[in-house]
Chains A and B, each alone.
Chain A
Amino acid sequence: MLLIDGADAPYWNGLADGALMLPRCEACGTWLWPASDRCGSCGSIQVAWIERAMTGTIFSWTRTWHRFGFTEALDLPFVSIVATVDDCDIRLLGRLDDPDQLDPQIGEAISGRIGSTRVENRDIPTIIWSRNA
C-alpha cells in the first residue's frame, strides 16, 4: 500500500503538499471517486485533478469506543465521518474533532485541515474536520 501508487496518487500527493486535489472527467465533468483511470459515464480517459476547498457537510458518522487493531494511535472514543465536499459530488472518509462528544448532525457544515494518522509505522495524511463555529 504505497501512498504514491494507484489512481488516487495525486490525492495523497496533494494532501502532502497541503491541498485537497480531486479528480474530474475532462470530457463530461463527472467527478470520479474512487479515483479511476476511465470515466464510466462517457468513456474518456482524460482525468483532471482539481483543487477544492476543505469545506463540506457531514453525510454520516460513527463514534468508535472499541479498540480495534490499527487504531492504536487514536484516543478513544474518536469520531469518523463521511464528508460531502463542497462544490463537487465527492464524499471523503475522514475524522471529526470531538472535544465535547456532541453527536454530529447530518448536513452540519464543517471545515477541514490536514493532519495525519499513525498506522503501524506510517503517517497517513488525513483531513481532520471540525464543526464550523
Chain B
Amino acid sequence: MTPLYGSTAVAGIGVRQYKRGTSPLPERGVLTQAVIDACADAGFDPADVDGFVSYGDDHNEPVRLMSDLGTRELKWSSMVWGGGGGGIAGAFGLAAAAIISGQASAVIVFRALVEGSSGRLSAAVMAHHLNDHMLAAGIVAPAQVCAIRANRMYEHHGVSRAVAEELVRASYYHGSRNPDAVAYGRELDLDAMRNSRWIAEPFRLFDCSRENDGAGAFLMVSAERARDLKKPPVYLLGCANGAEKGWGDLLENDDEALYPTAGFRPIARRLYADTGLSPADIDVVQLYENFSAQGVASLIDHGFCTYENVAEVIRFDNLIAPTGKLPANTGGGNFAQGFIHGIGTAIEAVKQLRGESANPVPDAKIGLLAGGPGAPTVSSAIFGNIVP
C-alpha cells in the first residue's frame, strides 16, 4: 500500500448546477457558494480551508477566493496540468499529497464553469491544444479528435458501435431518475437518439456530453479528522495520474496499440497495484464520458472488459443500478446528469458511497472515478466508505 491508501477523505461536497448560460452569479460567485456548501455539508468553518486544487485550466486562482471565504491563510494552491478533464481524479491525489505531507490540512478540490465568465468549455479545451496541424485538417473540437480515435476502435479493433448506445442509455436511465440531473423526469427517446444529427462521424449529438454552468467543490481532510466531522468519510484509497511512453500530445502519433484506448492502461495498472484492489472489487463506476466511444474505451482500459468481450459486459441491463453487475454513471454521468467539466461524476462517486445517490447501489463500498478519457494526461481514483 502507498501512503495515499485510506489516509485522507472527502468530508464534504457542494455543487451548484445550471443550464448553460443561465447561472445567476458569475463564475467566482458560483464557486464560492459551492465551497460554502461543501464546508456546511461537513460542518466545517470555511475560513479554516487552507488549500485548493483544480484541473482543466480553471480560471479561478485560489488566492482570489480568500476574501469571499474569509480564508485565514492559504498554504496550498495548485492545479493538475492539462486542458481537458484528464486531471479530475488527479486533483484528489494532489489534495491528498498536500495533506499527507503536512503542507495543508483542509483542501478544497474544485472546478467552476460559467459560460458568461469563461466562454464555452469546448473552445477553452481546444485553445489549450490547437496548432496549425490541427487547424489545417479542420480538427478544431474535442468531438472530432475523439471521433477519429473512435473510428479506429470500431473499425480496426472490432468493437461494435452498438455498445456505445448501451452506455448512453444507462446514463440517461439514471439521469431520468435523479432529481439533480438535467435529464430528470424524461425517458430517453431511442429513435430521437439514433436519428439525432451528426456532429463528427461516428458521433451523433447523443454521443456527446453537453455543457452546463456551475461549480462543484469537495472538502478533503485527513481520514482521522474526517471521522470527527458531520458526514461519514469517503476515503481516498488510490489515485494515479499521467501518461506512458507512446501516449500523449503526439499529433496522433501515439503507439498503434494505445491509439484507440483512452490512455488509462498505466493508470489502471498503478491504481490496482497500489490499492491491492482489482476490477472485481469495484462496486460502482463513475465514468467521465466526454463522448460515448471514449467511455467504452475507458471501461476497457480499466479492466472491466476487453475488445473481445466488450459487448457482453457493456450492456444496458448490466450497467444500471440496483441490479446490474457493473453499475455505471448512477447519477446520469456527463451525458444526463450534467457537465461541469466532469465534476458531477466525482460528486456522484461520493454520494453513492454515502448512500445518498438517487440510484443507490446496494451495499456499495468501493467506487472508481475514471477521469476524462483520451486526454494526453489522464487520471483515475478509487474511493471507499471503508478502508479494506
Q: Nearest-CB distance from A92 to chain B (Å)?
A: 7
Name the contact of A1 in the complex, choosing from B131, B137, B143 (C-beta under 8 A): B131
A62 to B214, CA, bound (A): 32
B 173-213 contacts with A by CB, 8 A: 197-202
Q: Nearest-CB distance from A96 to chain B (Å)?
A: 10
Q: Are B252 and A77 in contact (CB under 8 A)?
A: no
B133: chain A residues at CB < 8 Å are 8, 92-93
Q: Nearest-CB distance from A97 to chain B (Å)?
A: 13
Q: Nearest-CB distance from A100 to chain B (Å)?
A: 15
Q: Are A93 and B251 in contact (CB under 8 A)?
A: yes
Closest to B132 in A: A124
Name the contact of A106 in the complex, choosing from B147, B156, B250 (C-beta under 8 A): B156
A93: chain B residues at CB < 8 Å are 133-134, 136-137, 139, 251-252
Given the known inter-chain contacts A33-B251, A65-B198, A69-B123, please indicate yes or no for A106 contacting B152, CB distance below 8 A.
Answer: yes
The answer to whether A19 has its CB under 8 Å from any CB of chain B is no
Q: Nearest-CB distance from A38 to chain B (Å)?
A: 15
Give the bracket for the number of chain B residues in contact with chain A.
Answer: 20 to 34
B138: chain A residues at CB < 8 Å are 64, 71, 74, 78, 80, 95, 117
Q: Nearest-CB distance from B143 to chain A (Å)?
A: 7
A126 to B133, CA, bound (A): 8
The answer to whether B135 has its CB under 8 Å from any CB of chain A is yes
Name the contact of A66 in the complex, choosing from B143, B148, B249 (C-beta under 8 A): B143
The answer to whether A94 has its CB under 8 Å from any CB of chain B is yes
Q: Are B253 and A68 in contact (CB under 8 A)?
A: no
Q: Are B140 and A68 in contact (CB under 8 A)?
A: yes
Q: Nearest-CB distance from B5 to chain A (Å)?
A: 33
Q: Are A62 and B136 in contact (CB under 8 A)?
A: no
The answer to whether B149 has its CB under 8 Å from any CB of chain A is yes
B 108-141 contacts with A by CB, 8 A: 123, 130-141
A124 to B140, CA, bound (A): 14
Residues of A within 8 A of B (CB): 1, 3, 8, 12, 33-34, 59-66, 68-71, 74, 77-78, 80-82, 90-95, 103, 105-106, 116-117, 119, 124-126
What are 5 of the A-B contact pairs (CB < 8 Å)? A61-B148, A66-B200, A70-B140, A71-B140, A74-B138
